[in-house]
Amino acid sequence: MPLPVPEGPEPDRWVRPLLVAARWAQDAAARRRARREPSGPSIWGPIHLGTAEDGRPIRVPLIYRNMLVAGEPGAGKSVGLNNIVAHAALSVDCRLWLFDGKIVELGLWRSCAERFVANDLSDAISALLDLQSEMDSRYAVLDDQRRRKVAPTDGVAPIVVVLDELAYFSATVGTKREQEAFSVLVRDLVARGRAAGVIVIAATQRPSADIIPTSLRDLFGYKWAFRCTTDTSSDIVLGHGWASRGYTAASVAPEAKGIGFLLAEGGVPRRIKAAHLSDEQVYALADRAARRRLAAGIAHGQDLEPVRWSV
Ligand SMILES: Nc1ncnc2c1ncn2[C@@H]1O[C@H](COP(=O)(O)OP(=O)(O)OP(=O)(O)O)[C@@H](O)[C@H]1O
Ligand SMILES: [Mg+2]
């Protein structure tokens, strides 16, 4: 008895493999396009900082954490910071607030920053006050929802706050009162900001006890010590006792730019070399990040809007 013939034209046995091959080619082209135009990094993911001594890449998550970066002038702090700022700028799921007393270090990223504070202490204080009130409103919403911290599904963007040369604002310009107000605000953001999605990255050339008191240092989950002149100043960054155990940023040769010790909460300092972005690479990345931010509808150069939660 003959088998029933299915209805409709049967695809030619030669045509079917060609259709499948065409489909694969289409998929491969889509994958190539996706590689050329990746969706970009996210602030919820790890950030590439450089390489360890064994050549392995060092990537650390910064969400719910803060970082202290310190070391002598020219040691590589701003180059190290550039890796973090580049990642944050390209991550359209976060906001970027930059403070740079020197103006020109983080200034290259100005077009990506929601707020850029240059060498003006009263502007710095007013920006920190805005951040503090944003943090407080976020906590009010979290409290209302009986939750402890922001989550990626909230639609509330983490805010990456990068301060290059902390001591400029806390010990160099302005009156004692203003410097004190600045330091108190930074301390509050570092102490309370994490769960509200405020990530503070602070750098200083002066790893001295007046700039980084122990009580402030211990609030930073990550400490990154570039070359320091003495074991004591290295310990001020990494924590007391590390130098005597052989982990000291004073052991870094003066010509070894970009080498430092990175200590993550609860771990052991790791000697790493920060990735280096040339000025040309920074310009190109900053332009790309600014275009992405514009396309994503992220406002620049204005104060924070009221919190809008999607849950
Ligand atoms: N990871 C690195 N790889 C290669 N070269 C580096 C690296 N880090 C720093 N350098 C070199 O050292 C120079 C000084 O670095 P950088 O400006 O980051 O120092 P700094 O610690 O921020 O100094 P300052 O305290 O004066 O601002 C850079 O211009 C660069 O030439
Ligand atoms: Mg610098």
pTM here is 0.86
Q: pLDDT value at position 226?
A: 98
- Indicate if ligand 1 lies below 6 Å from the C-beta of 204: no
User: Which pair of tokens denotes residue 157?
Assistant: 């963007």
Q: Measure 81 CA to ligand 2 centroid, in angstroms.
A: 9
**Exposed/middle/buried for residue 39 (C-beta within 10 Å: 0-12, 13-18, 19+):** exposed
Task: Of 245, 221, 213, 268, give the one whose Cα is nearest residue 52.
Answer: 268
User: Alpha-carbon distance 191 to 291, whole Å?
Assistant: 33
Pocket test for ligand 1, best of 78, 163, 224, 226 (most atoms within 8 A of CB): 78
What is the Cα Rg of the chain in Å? 24
Q: Is 297 annotated as a binding residue?
A: no
Written as tens digits, the pLDDT of the chain (311 aa) is: 444 545 555 556 666 666 656 655 655 555 555 444 457 899 999 999 999 999 999 999 999 999 999 999 999 999 999 999 999 999 999 999 999 998 888 999 999 999 999 999 999 999 999 999 999 999 998 888 888 999 988 878 999 999 999 999 999 999 999 999 999 999 999 999 999 999 999 999 988 888 888 888 899 999 999 999 999 999 999 998 999 999 999 999 999 999 999 999 889 999 999 999 999 999 999 999 999 998 887 756 444 455 556 65
User: Alpha-carbon distance 305 to 156, whole Å?
Assistant: 11
Q: pLDDT value at position 14?
A: 64
Q: Residues 111, 293, 86, 311: what is their CA dihedral angle, to the nearest 10 degrees? A: 130
Which ligand is nearest to the Cα of residue 167, counting in written order? 1
Return the CATH superfamily for domain 64-295: P-loop containing nucleotide triphosphate hydrolases (3.40.50.300)
Q: pLDDT value at position 284?
A: 96
**Exposed/middle/buried for residue 30 (C-beta within 10 Å: 0-12, 13-18, 19+):** exposed
Identify the residue whose tokens are 């976060």: 94
Q: pLDDT value at position 10?
A: 58
User: Which pair of tokens denotes residue 52?
Assistant: 């360890």
Pocket test for ligand 1, best of 53, 72, 79 (most atoms within 8 A of CB): 79
Which residues, at least 6 apart from 147, have a Cβ–Cβ distance to it below 8 Å?
none
Q: pLDDT value at position 298?
A: 75
